[in-house]
């Protein structure tokens, strides 16, 4: 089972549980007194510190230090879990359901693209990220994190943005901002999005096996009678799960690798790719 | 994942590379996006100005992904990047 649902789902999907969008404005504190980052605006300052784990992983790789590599990876998972900053891939459809549950929502610049490609998104036509919840109302306290500003949008505008991003080919990723509170709805691709890059580069199969990003609740499947081999879907997979199978002349999906983002499904002009519930495939029940 | 292959060493001369968030040439040309740029400090009520020297710092993080294609060297206007092949 998806551990986020187990912990925060109240019997259903964690991201459709309205309680998880109901954080108060102020920083919550963990029982030991350590501040837990609040939704939206209260963000930790040291970006270099956040990247440190990756640099350590790369060093362990270079030294061929298998144990060290696994230890660092485990530690990074544990850190994210403690801070409650994990995320999960969601389909376009589930994204729309999410946007009906949460208010306020504001479009903003993506912090990953800012760091990886020095992209400086300045207005609502450029923003590729969305901050969620009342914490967003104090975004002005952190002008560097919210460089370019924030544009608050209605549910309809938010959905329209989500669909526009889907059309462009971005993966929808829902992020916790101090679990169980949901604080961000990201539009991701490889390699610019650090959440996706980490799991793709450093491994993801198995419950809690990647680094803070879970696969979604669905899995894509090709209807071989409907597929005419046009190849459009193959341009949309950010995870390397979907290939054009030359032998059959059709799309082929490795469902163990598939994150269930549904981009192949929404991009298929013939409706030949459907999304199944992950749990309907016995071998994938524990593959997150 | 664990390779025991020696990765290239990339050094960035911070004296020369002063405005990486404004310049961004290496960040955007790198096919495997190994570079990262970050503001020196994220402070309450303060926004960094990318035009001011040293407000952002460039680093090369994903050395495992560097193919030594040298495109970053070609585009760097201030010759700040050095790559040593192991």
The range of the structural domain enclosing residue A39 comes to 3-45+83-206
Residue B22 lies in a domain: yes
Residue A138 burial by Cβ neighbours in a 10 Å radius (0-12, 13-18, 19+):
middle
- pLDDT band for position B15 (50/70/90)? very high
Q: State the average pLDDT over residues A244-248.
A: 97
pLDDT band at A253 (very low <50, low <70, confident <90, very high): very high
With respect to residue A150, please indicate whether it lies within any of the assigned structural domains: yes
- What residues in B contact A118, CB-CB < 8 Å? 20-21, 23-24, 27-28, 37
Does residue B67 register a pLDDT over 90? yes
A59 part of a folded domain? no
- Position A252 confidence tier, pLDDT thresholds 50, 70, 90: very high
Q: Count up the domains in chain B and report the number.
A: 1
Contact A62 B38 (CB under 8 A): no
In the predicted structure, residue A27 carries a pLDDT above the cut 90: no
The CATH number given to whatever domain includes residue B39 is 3.30.70.20
The pair of structure tokens assigned to A258 is: 């598939």
pLDDT at A35 exceeding the cut of 60: no
Is A51's Cβ below 8 Å from some Cβ in B? yes
A69-78, A119-128, B68-77: least confidently modelled range: A69-78
Question: What is the chain A residue with the closest CA to B2?
Answer: A61
Q: Is residue A191 part of a domain?
A: yes
Q: How do A87-90 and A213-214 pair as beta strands?
A: parallel
Q: What is the pLDDT of residues A176-211, one digit of tens each?
A: 988 889 999 999 999 999 999 988 998 865 555 567
> Do A188 and A278 reside in the same domain of the chain?
no
CB-based contact, A139 to chain B, within 8 Å: no
Counting the structural domains of chain A, the total is: 2
Indicate whether B3 belongs to any domain: no
Q: Is residue B4 part of a domain?
A: no
CA A215 to chain centre: 9
Count CB-CB contacts under 10 A for residue A35: 12
Most confident of the ranges A42-46, A51-55, A132-136: A132-136
Looking at the fold, whether A12 and A141 belong to one and the same domain comes out as yes
Residue B2 lies in a domain: no
Contact A6/B at CB under 8 A = no
Angle of CA points A47, A36, A69, to nearest 5°: 55
Rounded-to-integer distance, Cα A87 and Cα A179, Å: 10
Residues of A in contact with B1 (CB under 8 A): 61, 69, 202-203
CB contact under 8 A, B27 and A116: yes
Q: Model pTM?
A: 0.92
Q: Which residues of B touch A202 (CB under 8 A)?
A: 1
Q: Vertex B36, ends A145 and B55: CA angle to 5°?
A: 55
Cross-chain residue pair B33–A66, CB shorter than 8 Å: no
Give the end of a domain, one of A185, A206, A227. A206
Tokens of A38: 């609040």
Partner-chain residue, chosen from A64, A118, A142, that has the shortest CB–CB distance to B20: A118
ipTM of the complex as predicted: 0.96
What is chain B's alpha carbon radius of gyration, rounded to the nearest angstrom? 14
Please indicate, yes or no, if residue A77 is contained in any of the structural domains: no
A62 → closest Cβ in B6, B28, B50: B6
Does the structure show a pLDDT above 50 at A39?
A: no
Q: How confident is the model at residue A214 (pLDDT cuts 50, 70, 90)?
A: very high
Contact at CB, A51 and B28, closer than 8 angstroms: no
Q: What is the pLDDT of residues A71-113, one digit of tens each?
A: 888 888 888 888 888 899 999 999 999 999 999 999 999 999 9
Chain B contacts in chain A segment 53-72 (CB below 8 A) = 54-55, 58, 60-66, 69
- Has residue B1 been placed in a domain? no
State the pLDDT confidence band at B40, using cuts at 50, 70 and 90. Answer: very high
| pLDDT at residue A42 greater than cutoff 90 | no
The enclosing domain of A267 has a CATH number of: 3.30.70.20
Flag the least confident range among A122-126, A127-131, A158-162, A202-206. Answer: A202-206
């Amino acid at each position: 089972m998806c551990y986020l649902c187990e912990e925060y789902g109240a019997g259903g999907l964690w991201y459709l549980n309205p309680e998880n969008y109901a954080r108060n404005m102020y920083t919550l504190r963990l029982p030991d007194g350590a501040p837990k980052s609040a939704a939206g605006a209260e963000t930790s300052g040291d970006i270099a510190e956040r990247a440190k784990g990756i640099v350590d992983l790369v060093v362990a790789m270079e030294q061929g230090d298998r144990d060290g590599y696994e230890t660092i990876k485990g530690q990074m998972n544990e850190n994210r879990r403690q801070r409650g900053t994990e995320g999960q891939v969601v389909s376009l459809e589930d994204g729309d359901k999410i946007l009906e549950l949460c208010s306020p929502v504001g479009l903003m610049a993506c912090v990953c693209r800012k760091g990886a490609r020095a992209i400086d998104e300045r207005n609502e036509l450029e923003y590729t990220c969305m901050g969620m919840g009342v914490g967003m109302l104090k975004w002005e306290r952190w002008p560097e994190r919210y460089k370019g500003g924030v544009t608050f949008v209605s549910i309809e505008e938010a959905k329209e943005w989500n669909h526009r991003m889907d059309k462009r080919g971005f993966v929808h990723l829902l992020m916790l901002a101090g679990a169980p509170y949901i604080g961000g709805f990201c539009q991701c691709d490889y390699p610019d999005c650090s959440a996706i890059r980490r799991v793709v580069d450093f491994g993801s199969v198995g419950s809690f096996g990647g680094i803070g990003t879970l696969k979604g609740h669905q899995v894509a499947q090709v209807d071989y009678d409907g597929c005419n081999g046009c190849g459009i879907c193959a341009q949309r997979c950010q995870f390397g799960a979907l290939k054009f199978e030359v032998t059959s002349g059709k799309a082929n999906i490795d469902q163990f690798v598939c994150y269930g983002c549904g981009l192949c499904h929404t991009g298929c002009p013939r409706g030949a790719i459907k999304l199944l519930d992950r749990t309907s495939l016995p071998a994938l029940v524990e593959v997150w | 994942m664990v390779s025991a292959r020696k990765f290239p060493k990339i050094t960035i001369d911070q004296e020369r590379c002063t405005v990486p968030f404004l310049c961004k040439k290496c960040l955007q040309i790198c096919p495997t996006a190994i570079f990262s740029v970050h503001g020196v400090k994220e402070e309450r009520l303060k926004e960094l100005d990318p035009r001011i020297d040293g407000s952002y710092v460039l680093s090369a993080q994903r050395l495992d992904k560097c193919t030594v294609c040298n495109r970053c060297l070609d585009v760097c206007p201030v010759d700040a990047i050095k790559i040593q092949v192991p």
